[in-house]
Each structure stands twice: as C-alpha cells, then as structure tokens.
Amino acid sequence: MWDGWPISRVIVLFAAMASLLIFIQVTLFHYRQNFRHWAMWGPVLTTPIIGLLLLALVFYNISILKTVTGIFCALGVLSGLVGFGFHVEGVGERVAGYRMQNFLVGPPVILPLMVAAISTLGLIGLYWRY
C-alpha cells in the first residue's frame, strides 16, 4: 500500500490525523472553559474540517479540493497564531501574572502553536515540490 507514495502524500496523511487528534484536545479544553470567548470556536470548527479535507486529499487529488484545503490550512495557521496571543494574554490575567505556576495551570500556551504547526505541515504537504 505504501509503495510508490510520494513524501508529500505521507505528510498530508500525517497532518490529517494530527489535526483530527488535536481537534479532540482543543474541544475538551475549550468545553472545560465553557467557550467563554468567541475565538475559542475557531480551532474547534477549523481543525476537524482541515483534518477531513486533508484526509480526502490523500485519496482524491482534485484541484478544487486542494484549493479549499489550502484556504482552510491557512485559516488554521491564523487561528493558531491568534490563539497563541489569547493564551499568553490569559496566563497574564491570572493572579500574579506571568509566573511559572500560571503557565502550568493556565491556558496551554503551546497548543495553539501546535494547531498552527500542523496546519503549516498540511500546507507543506499540499505544495511540496521535489
């Protein structure tokens, strides 16, 4: 099955699976916080769409699907970067501000960057030329 698959196809498959797994974690964290801010819906809505689009692209290399997937991956990068800013701000709003303890118990600062990184990996897989 894997014989003959180009590295770009494997990267797209990995990004699809990672995006779907991150969707579960992001949804659990934001549900725990009762979706207090509208921006919490961004990664909850985009990560499963990105994951499913990338997964579809692994099996169906259609140009319109590639274009739509690229747009959603770009939205995923943007969502992750904006989320990083919100999470850093959220840590600072806790009692005593930017102390190590607040980074441990506050919003996970790295998780939004993982959303951006996986979306970027999806873009790399989409537009890889070798």
What span, in angstroms and rounded, lies between the C-alpha atoms of 44 and 39? 9
Burial class (CB in 10 A: 0-12, 13-18, 19+), 43: buried
Give the model's pLDDT for residue 2.
Answer: 61
What span, in angstroms and rounded, lies between the C-alpha atoms of 69 and 63? 10
Give the model's pLDDT for residue 4.
Answer: 84
pLDDT tens digit sequence for 72-119 = 999 999 999 999 999 999 999 999 999 999 999 999 999 999 999 999
Q: Tell me the residue length of the chain.
A: 130
Question: Is 60 exceeded by the pLDDT of residue 1?
Answer: no
Cβ 79 vs Cβ 46: under 8 Å: yes
Residue 100 token pair: 């190590």
What sign does the CA torsion over 86, 78, 116, 54 have? positive
CB atoms within 10 A of CB 108: 17
Dmax (CA) for the chain in angstroms is 55
pLDDT tens digit sequence for 3-50 = 788 999 999 999 999 999 999 999 999 999 999 999 999 999 999 999
For residue 43, which of 54, 31, 57 has the smallest C-alpha distance?
31
Give the model's pLDDT for residue 129.
Answer: 74
